[in-house]
Amino acid sequence: MADSGWHPVRRTRTFEDVLAQIERRIAEDGLTVGDRLPAERHLAGQLGVSRSSVREALRVLETLGVVSSHAGRGPDAGAVLTSRPDSALTDLLRLHLGLASLELREVIDTRHMIEQWAASHAAAARADTSALADALSGMDRARTAEEFVEHDTAFHCAIADASGNRLVAAIMRSLRDSMCKYAVEAVERLGDTSILRTDHERILNAIDRGEAAEAARAVSDHLAHAYPSLFGQ
């Protein structure tokens, strides 16, 4: 069987590896603006990861203006390259590496501030919450803390997307890998994730109803439940 040029990624850093391989293939295949990447399902199979991981990587690239994604089938499937990823992707990964050395308090404080703003703006805009609902369903199906956190992260990144601010979305995705270890520890410490699920439903419902202040409060309460030692609980 001929080598497709795509290789299974290391699951410990799926998000970063998917981005790196997409960047590598763009460079090695000599793709230019207007060329199309393989369809999401095909990429997931070639990389040996879930479609949600590929979808998230493509959302990051779309946020950075590297690709434009459109729904479609057959020859119309797959994201279209809109610019070279060299500087944009390098800047994102550099930010990720810098965040890795920050204290948990610093990361949570930043996330608290950004996500309250994002949820409030998403609610005010009555943004589409289908991505949040999909992530919530994924959390229901999760069998391990790691799987739960994968979908939990997708939920919170979807809030940033729904805010309509591309920079906020990019920063949230950069924060996500720095948060991963702490998020898994928080879920394992809680044991029962029902309170987190209730929090997520409250956030989603507030955004759906256009209740900006309630959406911001729901985010704050959720982070307090997940990290009680940082919120004086």
For the chain, the domains span 11-87, 102-230
For residue range 24-68, list pLDDT tens digits in order: 777 777 777 788 888 888 888 888 888 888 887 887 777 767 788
CATH number of 11-87: 1.10.10.10
From CA 223, how far away is CA 232, in angstroms rounded? 12
For residue range 146-163, list pLDDT tens digits in order: 889 889 989 999 999 999
Mean pLDDT of 92-117: 76
Which residues neighbour 123 within 8 Å (Cβ) at sequence distance 6 or greater? 206, 207, 209, 210, 211, 212, 214, 215
For residue range 18-34, list pLDDT tens digits in order: 877 877 777 777 777 78
Residue the block writes with tokens 């020859």: 75
Residue the block writes with tokens 């690239």: 61
Q: Are 1 and 36 in contact (CB under 8 A)?
A: no
Q: Closest Cα partner for 159 from 103, 220, 227? A: 220
- Tell which CATH classification among 3.20.20.70, 1.20.120.530, 3.40.50.300, 3.40.1050.10 matches the domain 102-230: 1.20.120.530
How far is Cα of residue 166 from the mean position of the Cα atoms in its chain?
13
Q: Are 206 and 215 in contact (CB under 8 A)?
A: yes
**HSE-CB for 99 with a 13 A CA cutoff:** 25
According to DSSP, the β-strands at 80-81 and 67-68 are antiparallel
From CA 95, how far away is CA 166, in angstroms rounded? 15
Q: Strand, coil or helix: what is 35?
A: coil
pLDDT at residue 72, rounded to an integer: 55
Q: Closest Cα partner for 92 from 53, 52, 61, 47? A: 61
Q: Closest Cα partner for 22 from 11, 7, 12? A: 7
